[in-house]
Amino acid sequence: MASNYRGSLRYSSYQGSVDSLTDSLNAMTLTRKPQSGASHLSRGQPTGSSRGLQCVVCKIRPKFGEYQTCSTHCIKKVLKNGGDPDMCDYCHEKPRTPGKRQCGMDCIRKATVACLVCKCRPKNRRYQFCGRTCKRIAMEYTPFILSIPKQHVTYQMVAKKFIDSWKSTTLQIPAIREIYKINHDDASLQRYNEYKETVGNEQFLYHGTARLCQLGVATTELCASLTCVCNIVRTSFQMAKAKPTGLAFGKGIYTSSASNKAYRQYSGVHGAVVVSKVVLGKIKHVSRFNEVLSCPVGFNSVVYDRMDGKLNESVVYRDDAIRPVFLILFQ
């Protein structure tokens, strides 16, 4: 089932985008530097036999700085495999507490704000990575999705906004199964940011679509279907793939500020909801279907607050006006 690019969450607490990451922690380059009174950790040679000083992945070379790993190579292994399933997923050194993913209260607290790549350092404020190294690693794998643990502040924020944006009084709010961060390359983000700086009025909205594979259930690998949510993750939204006819406001990319609208019409239990950042710019407000069939001259988007916003339609008409940010799957 094609999504037709319809459906969507207003998400006002998010600011900025991944490509504008500015991190003051310059040590994140993983370039080893000699320290006064200490031997130079050249080529990751171990300097002691204590397990606490060794990389938690290879268990041979010494850790680098505040990382639990020795190199980007071992960080990538944590990113892909998640580390030892029996060990705390934050410190990666001590056994997990029964029924938990961490070893104790200190790591439970730290894991709520952990970088989604290395999983052993706090993320940089409103961004999902701790610094330049983890951002660079993430960029190597784009486009792809990163699982967000349920206890993480980002997961809780996205879930809360989904619930708060549910405007239906008859349809029950579905239980969320997983939330993923969608990652784009720098070039894609730059085009979006340039358009945002020119036009303004960024909002976070919902788009519901079909999931035709096991994405988020049995795999995080994207399938090749052009009508699956994987295609949106891979290429973002594209006007060229929107239906040319039969849509309420013409050929466009449809989102909504009402999460129930996206879930009900195109998603459901076996579908997906994509939380997207959308540049609406100057809005043409309409009061009925087919009032306009394209973006009117002098405007950047069309919004129809159907049923007082319970079935809101927000439409943009160019690729660079929207980027997917989070993927929500349901039980």
CATH classification of the domain holding 269: 3.90.228.10
User: Are residue 210 and residue 262 in the same domain, yes or no?
Assistant: yes
246 — pLDDT class (breaks 50, 70, 90): low
User: Are residue 116 and residue 231 in the same domain, yes or no?
Assistant: no
Q: Tell me: the pLDDT tens digits for 102-153?
A: 999 999 999 999 999 998 999 998 889 999 999 999 999 899 999 999 999 9
- CB neighbour list of residue 168: distance below 8 Å, 6 or more residues apart: 258, 260, 264, 310
- pLDDT at res. 266: 65
User: Are residue 168 and residue 87 in the same domain, yes or no?
Assistant: no
| Residue-averaged pLDDT of the chain | 83
Last residue of a domain, one of 123, 138, 167: 123
Residue at 167 is within a domain: yes
DSSP 228-260: SHHHHHHH---GGGS-SSS-TTSSSEEEBS-HH
Amino acid identity, position 302: V
Torsion of CA 37, 75, 277, 200, to 10 degrees: 30
Share of the chain above pLDDT 90, in %: 63
Residue at 57 is within a domain: yes
User: Are residue 58 and residue 192 in the same domain, yes or no?
Assistant: no
Q: Is residue 299 classed exposed, middle or buried when 0-12, 13-18 and 19+ CB atoms within 10 A define those classes?
A: middle
Q: Which of 269, 276, 268, 265 is nearest to 306 (CA)?
A: 265
The CA distance from 84 to 61, in Å, is 17
User: Are residue 204 and residue 299 in the same domain, yes or no?
Assistant: yes
User: Are residue 304 and residue 255 in the same domain, yes or no?
Assistant: yes
User: Are residue 292 and residue 172 in the same domain, yes or no?
Assistant: yes
Whole-prediction pTM value?
A: 0.81
Residue at 19 is within a domain: no
95 — pLDDT class (breaks 50, 70, 90): very high
Residue at 140 is within a domain: no
Residue at 131 is within a domain: no
Q: Tell me: the pLDDT tens digits for 219-229?
A: 899 999 999 99
Domain count, the chain: 2
268 — pLDDT class (breaks 50, 70, 90): low
User: Are residue 190 and residue 308 in the same domain, yes or no?
Assistant: yes
pLDDT exceeds 80 at position 245: no
Would you say 125 and 131 are in contact if contact means Cβ atoms under 8 Å apart?
no
Residue 163, both tokens: 């619930």
- Residue 249 belongs to what domain range? 152-330
Question: Other CB atoms closer than 10 Å to residue 270's CB: what's the count?
Answer: 12
pLDDT exceeds 90 at position 34: no
User: Are residue 182 and residue 75 in the same domain, yes or no?
Assistant: no
218 — pLDDT class (breaks 50, 70, 90): confident
Would you say 255 and 322 are in contact if contact means Cβ atoms under 8 Å apart?
yes
Would you say 68 and 117 are in contact if contact means Cβ atoms under 8 Å apart?
no
Residue at 83 is within a domain: yes
User: Are residue 101 and residue 220 in the same domain, yes or no?
Assistant: no
Give the largest Cα separation in the chain, rounded: 74
Residue at 73 is within a domain: yes
User: Are residue 232 and residue 301 in the same domain, yes or no?
Assistant: yes
Residue at 256 is within a domain: yes
User: Are residue 164 and residue 313 in the same domain, yes or no?
Assistant: yes
> What is the mean predicted confidence (pLDDT) over 201-206?
97
